[in-house]
């Protein structure tokens, strides 16, 4: 049964008015509960994503340094170029390897970001014009090369050390 104001009435032992619809207060309470749950869940989701990206940066950095040394020793040298998060290694024998670091990841050599480095056939840095691409300079450091990876708001972590072309992996 419907009265003049449009409310439905249940008939039975007790007659009550039944409202058909949702009030603004009910909607606001539901939205507040959703906001509280999101405030709890989002930080718990972001942390594993960052840890995963940091681990990926470490793994790709290790792969890049190993591949650079391997390709340099197998052929007559190799060149690593880092452009943003993209890593490319080209061997003089024509082989090529590509890898991508997560956003915020960076390959470091002796604590500084690498843009380009060339290794000769013995795994030692080389500045030979025949090896380096145009506009690329390679460090001329006869001592140890300390490879590490950096990631946004994280302390860089060492991945390899090499002395005179012999690389020891951590």
> CATH number, domain at 116?
3.55.40
Residue 162 covered by a domain: yes
Number of alpha carbons in the 13 Å side-chain half-sphere of residue 151? 19
Tokens of residue 63, six digits: 């792969």
Closest CA to 167 of 72, 58, 60, 59: 72
Number of domains in the chain: 1
pLDDT category of residue 32 using cuts at 50, 70 and 90: very high
Encode pLDDT of 82-130 as tens digits. Answer: 888 888 888 877 788 898 888 888 888 888 888 888 888 777 777 654 5
Encode pLDDT of 117-144 as tens digits. Answer: 888 877 777 765 455 666 665 655 556 6
Find the distance separating the first CA and the last CA of the chain, reported in whole Å: 81
Residue 151 predicted with pLDDT over 60: yes
Residue 12 covered by a domain: no
Residue 28 covered by a domain: no
CA 29 – CA 60 distance, rounded (Å): 47
Residue 155 covered by a domain: yes
CB of 118 within 8 A of CB of 138? yes
Residue 5 covered by a domain: no
Residue 53 covered by a domain: no
Domain carrying residue 120: 61-169
Residue 118 covered by a domain: yes
């Amino acid at each position: 049964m419907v009265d003049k104001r449009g409310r439905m009435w249940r008939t039975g032992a007790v007659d009550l008015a039944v409202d058909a619809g949702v009030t603004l207060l009910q909607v606001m309470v539901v939205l507040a509960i959703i906001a509280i749950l999101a405030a709890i869940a989002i930080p718990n989701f972001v942390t594993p994503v960052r840890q995963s990206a940091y681990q990926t940066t470490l793994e790709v950095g290790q792969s890049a340094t190993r591949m650079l040394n391997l390709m340099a020793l197998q052929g007559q040298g190799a060149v690593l170029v880092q452009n943003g998060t993209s890593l490319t290694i080209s061997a003089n024998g024509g082989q090529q390897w590509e890898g991508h670091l997560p956003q915020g990841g960076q390959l470091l050599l002796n604590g500084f970001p690498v843009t380009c480095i060339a290794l000769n056939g013995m795994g030692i840095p080389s500045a030979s014009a025949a090896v380096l691409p145009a506009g690329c300079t390679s460090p001329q450091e006869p001592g140890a090369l300390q490879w590490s990876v950096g990631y946004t708001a994280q302390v860089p972590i060492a991945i390899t050390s090499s002395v005179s072309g012999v690389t020891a992996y951590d």
